Amino acid sequence: MTLPHWEETPADLRAATREIKVALRERIAASGRTVDEVFAVVERRVQAAIDDIAAARRRGETVWPVIDYADIAAGTVTAAQVEQLRRRGCLVVRGHFDRDQALRWDQDIVDYVEGNRFFEDYRGPGDDFFGSVGSKPEIYPIYWSPAQMQARQSERMATVQAFLNSQWKHESDGVQWFDPTRDSLYPDRIRRRPEGADSAGLGTHLDPGTLDLWMTQAYQQAFRHLFDGSVEQYDPWDAAHRTTGPQYPGSTMCSAFRTFQGWTALSDMDHDQGVLHTVPIPEAMAYLMLRPLLSDVPDDDMCGVTVNQVFPAGHKWHAPLMEALAGIPDVKAGDSVWWHCDMIHSVAPVEAQKGWGNVMYIPAAPWCPRNETYAASVRDAFLKGESPSDFPAEHYERDWPNRFQPTDLNDIGRRGLGLG
C-alpha cells in the first residue's frame, strides 16, 4: 500500500497526523504483525543498550567513546573502538587540533567581534532556540570569521569528517547516497559562555526534522523497515533516501544532511560545567518514530512533535530512554565532540560556571544532492558576509572588512562550497 504523503507542510497538521497514523498502522498490520509487536522488538533492542550503558557506569567507565586524532589520521583506530563508536553513536576526538591553536582561534574570534563593534550593534537573539546570558549573547550569530573558516577547511577537520562519514552505509541499490570523502561546508555559529555564567541549558531534543519524518516520501522510505514489518532490518547507519528529500521549513531546521552533529572546543571544559549530554543509542530513533502509533497517544498527536519547534524527547513519552542520558567527559581546547544526527541530546544547566565554555559548531555534512542544493545558498551568503539561510537573517558581518575572503579558500574549502 502507498502511504499518503505531504511534500510541503500540510495545511491541517492535526488532520494529516490522524491520516498518516491510520495509514502507518495499516501498513504494519499488512505485514502480519501488530504495532505493539513491532514496538516490542524496538523496546528490547533499546533496553539492551540502556542496560549496557548502566553497566559501563557501574564499572566506572566513561560512556562516551574517546579516540585520539593521531589514530584517526594514521588509520590505527582499533576494531573495538569502531564498534563502540557505532554502538554509542557519539565520540570525543582528543587532540583534534593543537590546544594552542584552538586557544588562538578563541582569541581571534574575540578580536574579530570586538574590533567590528559587534556588542554595540547586537540586537538580541534572532531566534528563541538558544537563551542568552546577561547582556552579551551566549550564541554569537557569526559565521565568517577567519578562525571558523580555517577550522572548517583544515585537513584535520576533513580527516575526522571522512572517518565519521565512513561509519554510514552510503551506497545501496546502485545509488551513492553521499560521498564520504567530501564534506559540504556547513556554516554554523559560535558559543562563548563566560566564566561565572548561569545557564538554563537546553532540554532533551533532536534535530533531524519534525513531522516530515513521517509525512514525506523520502523519509517514509528511509524509515521503511519500521513501518513494513521488517523492523529487525532497521539500521540507524543507513543513509538510503535521507540525502535527497525535502524538509518542512522552520526556525530550527537544518537544510543539510549531517551524518554527525559536532563542535570543536575553544576552551577547556569539565564534565560537570553545563556540557552536552546525549542518549547514546542510535537505535532510539526507531523508538521515537514508532512511539506515536501506540494506543495511549491521541490520534492527532505525534508525542508532541510539530513544525517550527525542535523534536522533543522526554519523560512523558520516552521515559526509558532518559535513563541513558550521558554527558561528555572533560575536554580540552582543541578536542572535538560528535553525535549521530538522529541522537537525543541536551545541554545541562550550570550555575557559576568554572572557566569559559566556548565552542565552534562544525558538523560532518557529506556531499550529496541535498547538501549540494544548500551549498548554493551558502556560497551566496559567504560572498556577501550574510547569515546563511538556515539561520535568522541578522547579517552582522556584511561590512566587516576582515572576514574570511574567497581568496583565502583552499582546495577543501572550495570543494566544500561547490566551487571546485
Is-contact 52 86, C-beta < 8 A? no
Please write the tens of the pLDDT for every residue from 367-381: 999 999 999 999 999
Least confident span in 80-84, 308-312, 357-361: 308-312
Rounded to an integer, the average pLDDT of 162-174 is 97
What integer pLDDT is reported at residue 157 of this predicted model? 98
- The residue among 418, 337, 419, 408 whose CA lies nearest residue 149 is 408
Q: Is the dihedral of CA 69, 72, 73, 75 positive or negative?
A: positive
What integer pLDDT is reported at residue 133 of this predicted model? 39
Rounded to an integer, the average pLDDT of 349-367 is 94
Least confident span in 155-164, 246-255, 352-361: 246-255
Rounded to an integer, the average pLDDT of 277-287 is 98
Euclidean distance between CA atoms 306 and 312, whole angstroms: 9
Euclidean distance between CA atoms 344 and 341, whole angstroms: 9
The CA–CA distances, whole Å, from 77 to 73, 107, 163, 352 equal 9, 32, 10, 38
Least confident span in 92-96, 188-192, 197-201, 250-254: 250-254
Q: Is the dihedral of CA 254, 257, 258, 263 positive or negative?
A: negative
Q: Percent of the chain beyond pLDDT 90?
A: 88
What integer pLDDT is reported at residue 127 of this predicted model? 57
For 390, the grid coordinates are 538556515
What integer pLDDT is reported at residue 244 of this predicted model? 86
What integer pLDDT is reported at residue 126 of this predicted model? 66
What integer pLDDT is reported at residue 137 of this predicted model? 75
Euclidean distance between CA atoms 394 and 386, whole angstroms: 8
* Three-state secondary structure call for residue 172: strand
pTM of the model: 0.96
Euclidean distance between CA atoms 87 and 93, whole angstroms: 16
